[in-house]
Chains A and B, each alone.
Chain A
Amino acid sequence: TQLLEQSPQFLSIQEGENLTVYCNSSSVFSSLQWYRQEPGEGPVLLVTVVTGGEVKKLKRLTFQFGDARKDSSLHITAAQPGDTGLYLCAGVRFRNDMRFGAGTRLTVKP
């Protein structure tokens, strides 16, 4: 059982559509990060959220940290083929305890 459950596992959409992926847990995290990973490469950090209820925007990507700091969501507006990749959330419980979710594999078709 994963400490962080990500849903959906797979998502295939057309260019221009909106989408939301979720990262849920029963544990409380001091911070939560979202990474994107492309084939053959390591994950690359997109954003870190540290305050319950926090919302961060990165161009067409909107990240939200739940009020109770147990969950997070990533919303992409008007998805583009360049958004294709594996999206991973990672929660920090204490300094050196970071747990990753299994990821959501997103495919955006042109």
Chain B
Amino acid sequence: NAGVTQTPKFRVLKTGQSMTLLCAQDMNHEYMYWYRQDPGMGLRLIHYSVGEGTTAKGEVPDGYNVSRLKKQNFLLGLESAAPSQTSVYFCASTIGTGRLDQPQHFGDGTRLSIL
């Protein structure tokens, strides 16, 4: 029962470097989400996808790009990392049937530090 798997778990980058965070889910979920979690601010939605080949902006999309080429994978990219992007990043997925009470299943996070 893998659920939602995030890769890598930790990463340190220098300002200006680029990287991609990978999220994979094995539950055949339609919807996938990327959040960042910062102290005192809770989880904030970066981008989300309601199906393969679709993406949409969330609350804090600037500086990030995403792709959903396969239903099970959702990639989050940082083209030019900035210290303000130091955070813990969480991926989540839901069934996506339109029901209001469906739970979000979260991965264990990627801790990213930008120096």
A99-110 Cβ-contact flags toward B at 8 Å (1 or 0) = 111110000000
Give A86 Cβ to nearest chain B Cβ, in Å.
10
Q: Are A33 and B103 in contact (CB under 8 A)?
A: yes
How many pairs of A and B residues are in contact by the CB < 8 Å rule? 56
Question: How many A residues, CB 8 Å from partner?
Answer: 26
- The range of chain B's interface size is 20 to 34
Is the C-beta of B2 less than 8 angstroms from some C-beta in chain A? no
Is the C-beta of B27 less than 8 angstroms from some C-beta in chain A? no
- B residues sitting closer than 8 Å to A (CB atoms) are 4, 31, 35, 40-45, 48, 50, 56, 59, 90, 92, 98, 100-101, 103-104, 106-109
Q: Are A2 and B104 in contact (CB under 8 A)?
A: no
A92 partner residues in chain B, CB cutoff 8 A: 100
B43 partner residues in chain A, CB cutoff 8 A: 43, 88, 90, 100
> Can you give 29 contacting A-B residue pairs, CB < 8 Å?
A2-B42, A4-B42, A6-B42, A31-B100, A33-B104, A41-B108, A42-B4, A42-B109, A43-B90, A43-B106, A45-B103, A45-B104, A48-B100, A48-B101, A48-B103, A50-B100, A88-B42, A95-B98, A96-B31, A96-B48, A96-B50, A98-B104, A99-B59, A100-B42, A100-B44, A101-B42, A102-B41, A102-B42, A103-B42
